[in-house]
Structure 1
C-alpha cells in the first residue's frame, strides 16, 4: 500500500473513491498526521481493515466492497465465463470477510454482492457484465451509507429531544468513534450528536478516550473539534463519576453487531457504560443502520468476539509505540463486549427508533418486517 499526504479535508472523509481509484484516511496516524493510503485490490483492502487503517462497521463493509471494485475495474484480462467471474468475486469476498469477524456489516455486504453477481451471471453473456454489476453495487453502498447516517441522526436527535421533558439543552456521552471516520460520512451515534448540535439543542458532547486503541481521543475528539461541536474528552474510568455529577443526560453508542433480541456487540467498555447509566438512571441508546442487525442470531451469546494483539496493551499508541507494561505479563484484549438488550433504552436506525415497550428484549424482526411491508407499497 502506498501513501499520499494531503491536507485536512473540510468534509472529513475517511473514504475517497472515484473511477476505480480508492484511498483511505490512515486513522492510525490521526490526529497528528492526515495521510491517505492507496488501495489497489482486495489484498490491500484486507490489510487496511485488519490493521485498522480503517475501522467502524459501516466503513469496513464499504472498504471491502470498494477494494474489490477497484481490483476488478483494473483487471487487464479475464479469460472466463460469467459463472467464473461470479466465483472469482465470491472467493475474494470470503477472503475480505476474514479480515475482521465481529462486525456484521461486512458479512452482510459480502452476502448481498454474492447474491447479486450470481443472479447476473445466470443471464449474462460475458464476464464483464458480472464485474460491472459488482462495481455499481459497491458504489451504491457508498452513496447509501451517507443518506442512512443522516436519517439515523435525524431520528435519534428527535427522539432524544422528546425524552428531554424540561426542554433544556442535552449533554451526551459517547464511546469509541462512530462518526465520519467510521462510516462513509456523518456517522451513526456521532451523527445523532451532530444532528443535536445542528438543531441547537446540544449542550455538550463527552467522549471517552476508548482504550487501548484510543479511538475516542484520537478520532472522535478530532471530529468534534473539526466540526466546532462543544465537547470534552474524559478517561474511560471517569464515566461513572461524570454521570454521578449529573453532567450526562444520555449515552449513545454505535454497534458492530446487533442480535435479534437487541443484544449489542460494540467496542470494549460499552457494557460498563451501560451498567453505569442504568445505575444512575440515564438512558442508554444504540445507533446503528439496519445492516448492523444480524437477525439470524437470537442473542449476543452467538456473537464471535474478536481478540486483538497483546501489543495494543503492552505498548503506547495502540501497540505501535514504546513498551509500557512489564515484560512477561499475560494479556487479554477483546476488541468488543456485548451489552444485553435489558439495559438498552432504544435502538436508533435509519428507518426509525426501536423500543422495548416494557419487555426484556426488542422485537427487531417485527420492526424489520414492518419496514419491509411499508416500503413495498
Structure 2
C-alpha cells in the first residue's frame, strides 16, 4: 500500500507519522511519500519521520519529493494538508477583517473565504494529477476550509472525503470524563465543518444510551471552559457546540479579544520555528511534546481509521466525515457537504440518518451553506462581485458596508494568489 501526503513538510506531519507507526496493523503502509514544495522543511520533517518509523520498527519506506506528479504516482490514497501562502497568509486572514469590526479567523468569516479562494484552485489541480496517476485513488482532505474544499473535489468528480479532528477530539475528551474506552463513545455529531453540535453522546454504538445529560450535569464546567463559553449557555442549549460556534455566539466579544493580542498565526509561526529546529536534531526519534500545542490533536488516529476503511483494510464502520448531504438534512441541497456520522467503506461515505433538527441549528446551517455556495462559486470563477456576494451572505458579516470594505481588503492582501485579480 502506498500513501502520499501533500503538504508533507508541515509541522503537523510527525503527528501523522506517529499514528501511522503505532497503528500499522490497521493501515499497513509499505511506502509513504511526503510531498511539499519547501525542500528545506521537507528534509527536516522527512528525517524525523524515518527515525520515528525506525524507532517503532515499522518496515515501511518513507521518501520525500517536491514533485507532485512523482509523489502521487501509483498512490492508493492521497492526504491533503496544505496551506497556500503559509502562516504569512494566515496572519493576514486573522488581522485585516478586524479593521472592519469582523472576526479574523482562518476558516470562517472573511478570512475563511480568503483561504478558500487561495486553496480551491490549487487543490483541484493536485486532484487532477492524482486522477491521472491513479483514477481509483482516494483523496482525504484535511485542508481547510474542509467543507468548501471537499465540495469542490466532489463536484469535480473526484473520489474524496473530508476529515476534521473536532469530532475525534470530543470523543476522546468525553471518554476521559466517562472513564471508558474511546471506541465505546459515539457522537450524534451534526452540522457543517467547523459548525457542528454534539446532540448526543452514546455508549456502545450509534443506538446506545445517550449520556450527554449526565456529562453536562457532572462535567459542565469543564466542558464550558474548554469551549470558552459560559456554563449557562451550554446548559440552555443542552448540547455541546464546537469551539467554532464561539465566533457566532460571541462574535463581538471575540473581535474585542482578538484586537488585544498577537494573532494565532504569529503564535504558530514562532512555534513552527522551534519545532523545525527540534526536527533537525538527529537524536530526536519521536514527536515532541510541543507539537501538542500546534493543533491537530488525534488527527493521525482519524486519518488512519478513514484511510483503512476507504482502502478495505478494516477501520471503524462508522466515522464522522465530510461528504455529500444526499437528503440527510432535508433543508439542504443534496450536493451540500455536511459533517456527520457516516458508514465508511471502499465505496465511500454514506451519512447516517439524522433526526429533525431544532430551527436554532438548522437555520444557521442553512445560512452558512448558502454562503458556502457563493464562496465556492467565487473560488472557481473569481471576480470582485462574487467575492462581495459571498461576504454579504455570511452571517458574521451581512452588512453592505462591511462586505464592501472586506472585499477590497481581501483582494488587496491576496492578489498574488488570485489569477483573476
Of structures 1 and 2, the one scoring higher in RCO (CA 8 A, sep 6+) is 2
TM-score, scaled to structure 1: 0.30
